[in-house]
Amino acid sequence: MLLKRDGFPQEDELVLCTVTNIQPHSVFVTLDEYNGRTGLVHISEVAPGRIRNMRDFVKEGKKIVCKVLSVNREKGHIDLSLRRVNETQKRQKLNEIKEQQLAEKIVEHVAKQRGESVIQLYEKVADKLLSEYQSLFGAFVAVSQDAVSLEKFLDKKVANDLSGAIKARIKPPEVELSGDLFLTSYAPNGILLIKGALAACTKDAARIRYKGAGTYHVLVKSEDYKSAEKILKDVVDKIVKFAEKNKLFVEFKRHDE
């Protein structure tokens, strides 16, 4: 990882560590995000219950997520816990690390394209963006969504190169809305009328799939909730309008209602 934090972690903070030494009653680790600072996990904080063999739980070189219990800045001691990190917290922390690594890969790619030092470009970008964003990845997501322009922070050429790389690798999250559409007709040409109702919105950004017994699954995707809501409303309104005009029974039930 290129991002190295100065100072010490905060109590209760989750940190990514590398196991370096295993003793009968303690585990020594380095804190990957804090310039190689070291910490200690006492045997009582490795796992609940009695531990017969520490290597049943940790191994040298293994990456583990720990919780900071206490920090003694004068002595440089950091006490950690492995057992107090649940699976959800572990996944969240590892996901944050993956996001950070993706952001670093993007900077590395742009630096190589420009023939610049990866470290120097990273420090330049991080220095500008981390003053306003909690993480480089968070800033890059904002760029991918056109919520911010990098020209606000960097010179135009660097901003353009980086923005292009960001948008190629980080896709805006999609919002999905769906529901069940019920269409029924007792007319002799009822099947054709139902097909006509569905055809009324074939050009809209919606996927309609037959589920059976006159029920159709309607799914729309968009970059944000507001636009997804509008697409779904337009689709349903067109079908309802056609159905009422042609005396079809129509009902729509949202899945999130």
pLDDT, one tens digit for every residue, the chain (257 residues): 556 777 899 999 999 999 999 999 999 999 999 988 999 999 999 999 999 999 999 999 999 999 999 999 999 999 999 999 999 999 999 999 999 999 999 999 999 999 999 999 999 999 999 889 989 999 999 999 888 999 999 999 999 999 999 999 998 777 888 999 999 988 889 889 888 888 877 656 688 888 888 899 989 888 778 888 888 888 889 888 888 888 889 899 988 65
CATH architecture of 14-85: Beta Barrel (2.40)
What CATH code would you report for 175-254?
A: 3.30.70.1130
Output the pTM of the full model. 0.65
pLDDT at 110: 96
Name the helix (H) or strand (E) containing 22.
strand 14-23
CA gyration radius for the chain? 27
Domain residues of the chain, as ranges?
Answer: 14-85, 89-169, 175-254
pLDDT at 224: 75
- DSSP code of 11? T
Measured distance CA(13)–CA(144) in Å, rounded: 29
Quote the CATH superfamily of domain 89-169. Translation initiation factor 2; subunit 1; domain 2 (1.10.150.190)
pLDDT at 214: 86
CA angle, residues 61, 63, 64, in degrees to nearest 5:
130
Distances (CA, A) of 180 to 200, 201, 257: 17, 15, 11
Burial class (CB in 10 A: 0-12, 13-18, 19+), 66: buried
Is there a contact between 132 and 150 (Cβ–Cβ < 8 Å)? no
Measured distance CA(233)–CA(229) in Å, rounded: 6
